[in-house]
Amino acid sequence: MLKLHEDYLRSILFGLEDSLVSTSGVVVGMAAATGSNRLVLIAGLIAVSVEALSMGAGQYLSERGVHELDKAHTDNLVVGATLMFACYLTAGLLVITPFLILPFPASAFAGAALPLVALFWLGYFKGRLVRVPPGRSGLEMLFIGGLAALLGMGVGLITKSL
Protein backbone atom coordinates (compact mmCIF):
# COMPACT_ATOMS: atom_id res chain seq x y z
CA MET A 1 0.00 0.00 0.00
CA LEU A 2 1.16 3.52 -0.84
CA LYS A 3 2.40 5.19 2.31
CA LEU A 4 0.47 8.34 3.07
CA HIS A 5 2.65 11.17 4.37
CA GLU A 6 1.61 12.11 7.90
CA ASP A 7 1.19 15.79 6.98
CA TYR A 8 -1.16 14.84 4.13
CA LEU A 9 -3.14 12.60 6.48
CA ARG A 10 -3.56 15.55 8.85
CA SER A 11 -4.75 17.80 6.00
CA ILE A 12 -7.30 15.19 4.91
CA LEU A 13 -8.65 14.45 8.40
CA PHE A 14 -8.65 18.08 9.46
CA GLY A 15 -10.38 19.23 6.27
CA LEU A 16 -13.10 16.58 6.42
CA GLU A 17 -13.73 16.86 10.17
CA ASP A 18 -13.72 20.64 10.28
CA SER A 19 -16.06 20.90 7.31
CA LEU A 20 -18.53 18.36 8.73
CA VAL A 21 -18.61 20.22 12.04
CA SER A 22 -18.75 23.83 10.88
CA THR A 23 -20.94 23.38 7.80
CA SER A 24 -23.55 21.48 9.81
CA GLY A 25 -23.71 24.35 12.31
CA VAL A 26 -24.31 26.86 9.52
CA VAL A 27 -26.92 24.86 7.62
CA VAL A 28 -28.90 23.62 10.63
CA GLY A 29 -28.91 27.14 12.09
CA MET A 30 -30.02 28.64 8.79
CA ALA A 31 -32.64 25.92 8.35
CA ALA A 32 -34.09 26.57 11.82
CA ALA A 33 -34.03 30.33 11.36
CA THR A 34 -35.47 30.53 7.84
CA GLY A 35 -37.27 27.26 7.08
CA SER A 36 -36.09 27.68 3.51
CA ASN A 37 -34.00 25.14 1.60
CA ARG A 38 -33.04 27.85 -0.89
CA LEU A 39 -31.61 30.20 1.76
CA VAL A 40 -29.79 27.29 3.42
CA LEU A 41 -28.22 26.37 0.08
CA ILE A 42 -27.10 29.96 -0.55
CA ALA A 43 -25.60 30.35 2.93
CA GLY A 44 -24.14 26.84 2.83
CA LEU A 45 -22.46 27.30 -0.55
CA ILE A 46 -20.97 30.63 0.50
CA ALA A 47 -19.73 29.23 3.83
CA VAL A 48 -18.27 26.08 2.26
CA SER A 49 -16.45 27.80 -0.60
CA VAL A 50 -15.06 30.65 1.51
CA GLU A 51 -13.97 28.26 4.26
CA ALA A 52 -12.45 25.72 1.86
CA LEU A 53 -10.29 28.45 0.31
CA SER A 54 -9.37 29.87 3.70
CA MET A 55 -8.47 26.45 5.09
CA GLY A 56 -6.33 25.69 2.03
CA ALA A 57 -4.51 29.00 2.41
CA GLY A 58 -4.18 28.49 6.17
CA GLN A 59 -2.81 24.99 5.61
CA TYR A 60 -0.19 26.31 3.18
CA LEU A 61 0.88 29.20 5.41
CA SER A 62 0.96 27.30 8.70
CA GLU A 63 2.77 24.30 7.21
CA ARG A 64 5.23 26.69 5.56
CA GLY A 65 6.06 28.02 9.02
CA VAL A 66 6.61 24.47 10.24
CA HIS A 67 8.91 23.75 7.28
CA GLU A 68 10.93 26.89 7.93
CA LEU A 69 11.41 25.72 11.51
CA ASP A 70 11.99 22.03 10.77
CA LYS A 71 13.97 21.31 7.59
CA ALA A 72 13.23 17.57 7.91
CA HIS A 73 9.73 17.98 6.44
CA THR A 74 9.58 16.50 2.94
CA ASP A 75 5.88 16.97 2.10
CA ASN A 76 4.81 19.35 -0.67
CA LEU A 77 3.07 22.48 0.62
CA VAL A 78 0.82 22.84 -2.43
CA VAL A 79 -0.30 19.20 -2.23
CA GLY A 80 -1.16 19.61 1.46
CA ALA A 81 -3.09 22.83 0.79
CA THR A 82 -4.94 21.25 -2.15
CA LEU A 83 -5.90 18.21 -0.06
CA MET A 84 -7.22 20.50 2.67
CA PHE A 85 -9.23 22.54 0.16
CA ALA A 86 -10.64 19.49 -1.66
CA CYS A 87 -11.55 17.63 1.56
CA TYR A 88 -13.22 20.68 3.07
CA LEU A 89 -15.19 21.29 -0.13
CA THR A 90 -16.25 17.64 -0.51
CA ALA A 91 -17.48 17.22 3.06
CA GLY A 92 -19.22 20.61 2.97
CA LEU A 93 -21.07 19.78 -0.24
CA LEU A 94 -22.11 16.45 1.30
CA VAL A 95 -23.65 18.26 4.28
CA ILE A 96 -25.68 20.66 2.12
CA THR A 97 -26.85 17.95 -0.35
CA PRO A 98 -30.03 17.07 1.65
CA PHE A 99 -31.24 20.65 1.14
CA LEU A 100 -30.95 20.11 -2.61
CA ILE A 101 -32.90 16.86 -2.78
CA LEU A 102 -35.27 16.67 0.23
CA PRO A 103 -38.26 18.87 1.11
CA PHE A 104 -38.11 20.95 4.29
CA PRO A 105 -38.06 19.93 7.20
CA ALA A 106 -36.77 16.45 6.21
CA SER A 107 -33.75 18.24 4.72
CA ALA A 108 -32.94 19.84 8.08
CA PHE A 109 -33.10 16.53 9.96
CA ALA A 110 -30.90 14.89 7.33
CA GLY A 111 -28.55 17.89 7.44
CA ALA A 112 -28.18 17.41 11.20
CA ALA A 113 -27.85 13.60 11.15
CA LEU A 114 -25.61 13.19 8.10
CA PRO A 115 -22.52 14.93 9.57
CA LEU A 116 -22.74 12.77 12.73
CA VAL A 117 -22.87 9.57 10.69
CA ALA A 118 -20.05 10.83 8.47
CA LEU A 119 -17.91 11.71 11.50
CA PHE A 120 -18.20 8.14 12.81
CA TRP A 121 -17.18 6.64 9.46
CA LEU A 122 -14.34 9.13 9.07
CA GLY A 123 -12.98 8.00 12.43
CA TYR A 124 -13.60 4.36 11.53
CA PHE A 125 -11.61 4.54 8.29
CA LYS A 126 -8.88 6.59 9.96
CA GLY A 127 -8.60 3.79 12.54
CA ARG A 128 -8.26 1.17 9.82
CA LEU A 129 -5.69 3.28 7.98
CA VAL A 130 -3.42 3.87 10.98
CA ARG A 131 -4.15 0.40 12.47
CA VAL A 132 -5.87 1.34 15.72
CA PRO A 133 -9.25 -0.21 16.69
CA PRO A 134 -11.59 1.34 14.08
CA GLY A 135 -14.77 1.20 16.18
CA ARG A 136 -13.08 3.10 19.00
CA SER A 137 -11.60 5.60 16.54
CA GLY A 138 -15.04 6.12 15.01
CA LEU A 139 -16.65 6.72 18.39
CA GLU A 140 -13.88 9.16 19.34
CA MET A 141 -14.45 11.16 16.16
CA LEU A 142 -18.22 11.00 16.70
CA PHE A 143 -18.02 12.26 20.30
CA ILE A 144 -15.46 15.04 19.84
CA GLY A 145 -16.57 16.18 16.38
CA GLY A 146 -20.23 15.50 17.16
CA LEU A 147 -20.09 17.58 20.35
CA ALA A 148 -18.63 20.49 18.41
CA ALA A 149 -21.23 20.00 15.67
CA LEU A 150 -24.11 19.91 18.17
CA LEU A 151 -22.83 23.06 19.88
CA GLY A 152 -22.57 24.72 16.47
CA MET A 153 -26.13 23.69 15.64
CA GLY A 154 -27.18 25.06 19.06
CA VAL A 155 -25.65 28.44 18.23
CA GLY A 156 -27.58 28.36 14.98
CA LEU A 157 -30.82 27.48 16.77
CA ILE A 158 -30.37 30.31 19.30
CA THR A 159 -30.15 32.83 16.46
CA LYS A 160 -33.64 31.74 15.42
CA SER A 161 -35.06 33.74 18.32
CA LEU A 162 -33.22 36.93 17.36
Residues at the interface with Zn ion (CB under 5 A)? 7, 73, 75
Distance (Å, whole) CA 144 – CA 21: 10
Rg of the chain in Å (alpha carbons): 17
Closest distance to Zn ion from the beta carbon of 130 (Å): 17
Residue with CB nearest Zn ion?
73
Q: Which is nearer to Zn ion, 75 or 140 (CB)?
A: 75
Report in angstroms how near the CB of residue 68 gets to Zn ion at its nearest: 10
Nearer to Zn ion, 7 or 96 (CB): 7
List, as one string, the DSSP characters of 30-43. HHHHH--HHHHHHH
CB nearer to Zn ion: pick between 74 and 161: 74
Q: Can you tell me the distance from the alpha carbon of 140 to that of 122, in angstroms, rounded to the nearest whole number?
A: 10
How far is Cα 78 from Cα 55, in angstroms, rounded to an integer?
12
Least distance from Zn ion to the Cβ atom of residue 63, Å: 5
